[in-house]
Amino acid sequence: MAERAVISEAVEVDPLLRRMELDRDTLLAIVAYADAERALCTSNDVKGFDLITMHDKAARGLREKFAGSRWEKCENDNQAGIRNPHLKLRVIPCNFDDNAGNPDKDVNPRARHPKGSASKKKVRCNQTGWLPGLEMPEPVTGEYETWLLGMYADDGGRSAELSLPLSFQGGNFNEFVTRIILESGQHDPSEVGRKSPEGDAPTEIVDIEIKRK
């Protein structure tokens, strides 16, 4: 297996995202919006509703900002996100622990809640993982490479990355072939209170799977 890559410098991050037809500033705005909505939750909300809210608003933001001629709304396997049928890429949000956005190659961020057997089975679809410096791989017909918009937020700040998981063990992701660091814990107070787009209320997210379809 190729050595894991962690990309954190803007001079590298920005062109990589452009090749994926994504944009760092837009991804950060989506995470900031989701964080602002999460911050409105209180101890009187249902337990875990802050994570549900963050997940929902990030998925909604991905769709509202990127869906168009190249990206489209994706609901495969009850996973809310977007996909690019031209590049065969898929992006779905995932709540990570506080190692999200940590550029240390020896650190593995983990999902906030253990994932099910379906995630273990379908993460294998990413094992042809793409590394920076290589051409975008030719996709297997009909299959999508799934990336995670990994996010962490609390009252002290937030962090985020775009990650391609490679392996799954013990109910969690334990290896990433590529991690693109978007934000490493800096909190921008100007983002708090960002006007939220119109739309439906969040729904419960049961599991996040990694799949090409």
Indicate whether this model's pTM tops 0.85.
no
Which H or E run includes 161?
strand 157-169
Concatenate the DSSP letters of all residues of 126-156 into one string. GTT---TTSPPPPPPTT--EEEEEEEEEETT
Q: Tell me whether residue 142 is exposed, middle or buried, using C-beta atoms within 10 angstroms of its C-beta: 0 to 12, 13 to 18, 19 or more.
A: exposed
| Residue 106 belongs to a domain | yes
| Residue 207 belongs to a domain | no
Q: What is the mean pLDDT of the chain?
A: 77
CB 89 within 8 A of CB 147: yes
| Residue 25 belongs to a domain | yes
Mean pLDDT, residues 99-126 taken together: 67
For the cut 50, the answer to whether the pLDDT of residue 83 exceeds it is yes
> What is residue 210's predicted lDDT score, i.e. its pLDDT?
44
| Residue 213 belongs to a domain | no
Instruction: Give the model confidence (pLDDT) of 41-51 as tens digits.
Output: 999 999 999 99
* Total domain count, the chain: 1
> What is residue 195's predicted lDDT score, i.e. its pLDDT?
40
